[in-house]
Amino acid sequence: MRIQYQVVPFHELETTDLYDVLKLRMEVFVVEQDCPYQDLDDLDRQALHLLGRAESGAIESYARLLPVGSVYAGHAAIGRVITSARCRGTGEGRRLMEEAIRQTRRAFGGGVPIRIGAQDHALDFYRRLGFEVAGEGYLEDGIPHSPMVLAPETDGAEGGQGTEDPTPELAGPVELRPLHPRVRLLWRLTTGFRGVFWTALAAGIETFGRDLALVDAVIPEALPPGWFTAGVALFWALILLVIPGVRYRRWRYALRPDNLWIRRGILVHRVSVIPYGRLQFVDTRQGPLERWMGLTELVVHTAAPGTSGLIPGLEAEEAELLREALARFGPDVPDAS
């Protein structure tokens, strides 16, 4: 997803853009993070609003840039940093913050430090952008936070922004991500192929194997011709219609600060938690149908023999990004447990 950034003062915000920003903030901070707090405050009037807009025109990411002294004495500030569920896992969180840093320094001067209140689970993410913890932690709306500060620019420095990283951040807000919707069609096709095979086998047995004792034990003589085959076909038709949708709704995964979380299963629900420190290597694979549909499986191999994690039904580009992101976390990363 390609995002274009725009910095707008409060008095120049279009009504529709203001509505979309407030809606996105409400979805993430109030609903998703379950924080009943006063989101609308007088700081919006003083702030510059960084809008991340997709090609469709929808606002998919946002940050609020605050002038020196408006919140913290001697510091500019960045707050209300959010990305929509649609663009998480694409590196947009990092790109948004890099742009927020750049625009804050352009507007308020590169010689002042920038302060944020970071949720503790995202501290490593902000450290990679140059921020350092600058005080005691605190609890805000039931969520542990820590104050962090990005030092002022020095001559010839890039202000801690670094180069753009196209891989997904692994320490942003935890979200249970679904597979790509096209995987339902893939599963229906593979189920349909199995159903055709077993229906054809049933028809062959019913047509040519009536004289076999084993077949007589399976197909009662009183059963009219064709009914056994029709029953097999109906059974597979029901599986084709029901199972892929249920399987899709159950499959979820999440990139958490210290581990990869995978949930799947229909009758038996399974959850796998793979610490990044246990990863050995990560690869992707595609069969003919996956290539035709533009989908890829991501396979995560761990230090324990015979154990791995599988995430099917990813778009090829997303799978490559996830592979590169997870590959940065290997056995040299300490286990959080």
pLDDT of residue 222: 56
Q: With cut-offs at 50, 70 and 90, classify the pLDDT of residue 8.
A: very high
Report the predicted TM-score, pTM, of the whole model to 2 decimal places: 0.48
Q: What is the mean pLDDT of residues 130-134?
A: 91
Q: Give the CATH superfamily of 3-150.
A: Gcn5-related N-acetyltransferase (GNAT) (3.40.630.30)
- The 10s digit of each residue's pLDDT in 221-237 is 656 777 778 888 999 99
CA torsion sign for 110, 115, 119, 125 is positive
Q: With cut-offs at 50, 70 and 90, classify the pLDDT of residue 30.
A: confident
pLDDT of residue 301: 82
pLDDT of residue 63: 94
Whole-angstrom Cα distance, residue 285 to residue 2?
A: 26
Percent of the chain with pLDDT over 70: 81
In terms of CATH architecture, what is 251-327? Roll (2.30)
**59 strand-pairing partners:** 53
**Which tokens sit at 66?**
């605050």
Q: With cut-offs at 50, 70 and 90, classify the pLDDT of residue 307.
A: low
